[in-house]
Amino acid sequence: MHFATLEGIYIITMSIGIIVSMLGVLLGGLHFHAGHSVHIGTSAQAGHSLHTSHASLQEGAVVTVPILNVQAIFAFMIGFGSAGLVSYLTFKASLLSLIFAVPGGLLCWYMIRLILKAMLKNQSDFMTTTIEDAIGRTAIVVSKIFPNSVGEVMYTSDGASNIIRAKFEESESVDKGAKVVVLKVENNIAIVVLENSLYLKNI
């Protein structure tokens, strides 16, 4: 293989890896908001919110990153291209540069997988919140609860805002913004009453 051709391959490979990785970070950053919001037992929505169900994650679960993970592949391209280009410019030998390029790519691929695994592990630990944690807590209605219907309430736990589906204990509606207390959980739905309810005073 001609030296110039190999040098061009290194440059193109490294450039593609860097450009695509930067685009991924920039585009992904558009979805970040301050704080965290965990939706427990609800359908997935767009945004940075984390969505999970009561049994979706368990403590001690093994977190793995696919071998062909996209970020890891682009990291390999960056490592392969940069290590190959530096060794090529240093030794001016195509085969010798490949000896450095391949391990360089594999090292970057391995490091990115380790980083992603650590990030996923931290996210999994954060997402161990269950709907039962809401029992006894004061919450705010974020989606109006109609009579015999399901709305949504939000409560705070360990610095995180958690949104759960909820029904009102009594047969009447509860407006958005009202403060309620979670009495119990039935079929993954929180049963709530108004914070100043006589029901609570009689418990």
pLDDT tens-digit map of 37-46:
445 554 333 3
Higher pLDDT, 104 or 125: 104
DSSP-assigned states of every residue in 52-112: E-TTT--TTPPP---TT-HHHHHHHHHHHHHHHHHHHHHH--HHHHHHHHHHHHHHHHHHH
Q: Which of 166, 165, 164, 168 is nearest to 148 (CA)?
A: 168
Q: Provide the pLDDT confidence category of residue 62 given band limits of 50, 70 and 90.
A: low
- Residue 47 in any domain: the answer is no
Instruction: Clarify whether residues 121 and 86 are in a common domain.
Output: yes
Pair type for strands 50-52 and 138-143: unpaired
Q: Are residues 156 and 178 in the same domain?
A: yes
Classify residue 13: in a domain, yes or no: yes
CATH number for the domain harbouring residue 156: 2.40.50.140
What's the pLDDT score for residue 188? Answer: 84
**Is residue 96 domain-shared with residue 144, that is, in the same domain?**
no
Given 71, 91, 126, the domain boundary residue is 126
Rounded CA-CA distance 25/156 in Å is: 29
**184 in Cβ contact with 191 (< 8 Å):** yes
| 117 and 143 housed in the same domain | no
Looking at the structure, tell me whether residues 110 and 172 fall in a common domain.
no
In a domain, 177, yes or no: yes
* Residues 107 and 154 grouped into a single domain: no
Number of domains into which the chain is organized: 2
- What is the distance between the terminal CA atoms of the chain, rounded to a whole angstrom? 83
Which residues form the domain of 97? Answer: 3-35+55-126
What does the radius of gyration of the chain's CA atoms come to, in whole angstroms? 26
Same domain, 145 and 110: no
Residue 41 lies in a domain: no
Are 121 and 141 in the same domain?
no
> Which has more confidence, 149 or 170?
149
Residue 40 forms part of a structural domain: no
pLDDT of residue 16: 93
CA 46 remoteness from chain centre: 12
Same domain (yes/no): 102, 167: no
Domain boundary among 94, 109, 126: 126
In a domain, 27, yes or no: yes
- Average pLDDT over the chain reads 75
In a domain, 43, yes or no: no
Residue that finishes a domain, picked among 64, 91, 126 = 126
Asked if 13 and 109 touch (Cβ cutoff 8 Å), the reply is no
Report the alpha-carbon distance of residue 117 to residue 107 in Å, rounded.
Answer: 15
Same domain membership, residue 154 and residue 120: no
Residue 112 lies in a domain: yes
Whether residue 109 sits in one domain with residue 16: yes
Q: Would you state the pLDDT for residue 161?
A: 79
For residue 126, the SS3 value is helix
